[in-house]
Amino acid sequence: MDSVFAAIVQAPEDPILGVTVAYNKDQSPVKLNLGVGAYRTEEGKPLVLNVVRKAEQLLVNDQSRVKEYLPILGLAEFNKLSAKLILGDDSPAIQENRVATAQCLSGTGSLRVGAEFLAKHYHERTIYIPQPSWGNHLKVFTMAGLSVKTYSYYDPTTRGLNFQGLLEDLGAAPAGAVVLLHACAHNPTGVDPTVEQWEQIRQLIRSKGLLPFFDSAYQGFASGSLDADAQPVRMFVADGGECFIAQSYAKNMGLYGERVGALSIVCKAADVAGRVESQLKLVIRPMYSNPPIHGASIASTILKNSDMYNEWKIELKAMADRIISMRKQLFDALTAKGTPGDWSHIVKQIGMFTFTGLNSDQVAFMTKEYHIYMTSDGRISMAGLSSSTVPHLADAIHAAVTRAS
């Protein structure tokens, strides 16, 4: 007798995680994986921060620690510290108890919980995401029952921001629509608005009565400064308006597999925040009951201890600086080769990723001939590069542009 699931078709590989699957099958000694957004050392190895090892050791050595369930909203201390990290020590929203925060399963989980909450409690079911955006955004919001539309963001001709198009599209959005904003280090393009442009975006969003939903996956990891990378979010909170913020500690603490994140909803008043918090619990309870304890405890330990916090900031800046240095090395290598085209966007873009401007045929050529793996849209993870692999990548880009274009 046939399986009741016999009619199920084989699903395609995830376009980002599928890159790693293909990379792992490749036997070439020069193969290079620039697909996945995870930091690598100069030696190409995953990095566990020293401060994370220290925090973990403290937790392991503390015999009073138990493995009991956390509350539905997670570790209260972690939630307070996370809100403070993104909103600032002196945030009026925190002082006035206007922030409802839930510990969630990293950035993805925070986005999903926020989306489920909106689908249940918000009058407007449409969310606008930038074109392009992280591949999972569309899936997360659609799965939660929201209708996803896009707004102009990237300009392929300048390999920069299509600011005019962005303002026009958000200006045409219906009042009350939700707008997904990348807090910093836009994924996949690495293109961020300037502070002045952010201010214009803020004025437009507030004048239209749109609801901002920030995805903050790279705080401190983009510029090397936690405060600078949080500035766009803080501008929106400073005007007293409401917003959603999804935070991830995957990149900035290197806690990828621990799934550490938070959703904060900044409200107009403390009593509203209290009611919002009560409803967040009802979203989370049937989804996963409560979040895991270990990763959030690591983050809390680091955030509450001033010495460890300062040590974290130094390690975080070192990661950001290495990525910035990889940008310069790649740009210099392409310039030295005289590779056709303007490659200045490599050093102008920020964060983990560079949107190279290479097309899918050029990407396929680089994979086949040079064993370099990346997503078909030409996005490369700068964190996967090292001084020793830059020449190989530069050779491949040069060949792709001159032969495969």
Amino acid occupying residue 220: G
Q: What single DSSP character describes residue 81? A: H
Q: Which of 169, 229, 251, 343 is catalytic?
A: 251
Helices (H) and strands (E) in the chain, counts: 15, 13
Q: Cα separation of 239 and 206, whole Å?
A: 9
Who contacts 137 (Cβ-Cβ below 8 Å, separation ≥6)?
111, 129, 148, 180, 215
E-assigned strands of 143-206? 147-152, 154-155, 160-161, 178-182
Amino acid symbol at 184: C
Choice among 54, 134, 192, 229 that is catalytic: 134
Beta bridge partners of 130: 151
How many whole angstroms separate alpha carbon 185 and alpha carbon 132?
13
Reply yes or no on whether 251 is catalytic: yes
Contacts 24+ apart (CB under 8 A), 40-48: 40/383, 40/384, 40/386, 41/386, 42/322, 42/386, 42/387, 42/388, 43/386, 44/384, 44/386, 44/389, 46/254, 47/254, 47/319, 48/254
Paired tokens of 50: 């020293």
- Of the candidates 258, 280, 296, the one whose C-alpha atom is nearest the C-alpha of residue 73 is 280
312 classed as catalytic:
no
Longest dimension (CA), the chain: 66
Catalytic residue selected from 169, 192, 215, 229: 215
User: Does 15 sit behind a cis peptide bond, omega within 30 degrees of 0 on the bond before it?
Assistant: no
| Secondary structure of residue 67 in the 3-state scheme | coil
Helix, strand or coil for residue 208?
helix
97: region left, alpha or beta (phi > 0 left; psi from -120 to 50 alpha)? left
Identify the bridge partners of residue 214 per DSSP, sorted by sequence position. Answer: 181, 245
Given a contact cutoff of 8 angstroms between Cβ atoms, the answer to whether 56 and 297 are in contact is no
Q: List Cβ neighbours of 275 (8 Å cut-off, separation of 6 or more).
A: none
Q: Is 62 a catalytic residue?
A: no
Indicate which residues carry an active-site annotation.
134, 215, 251
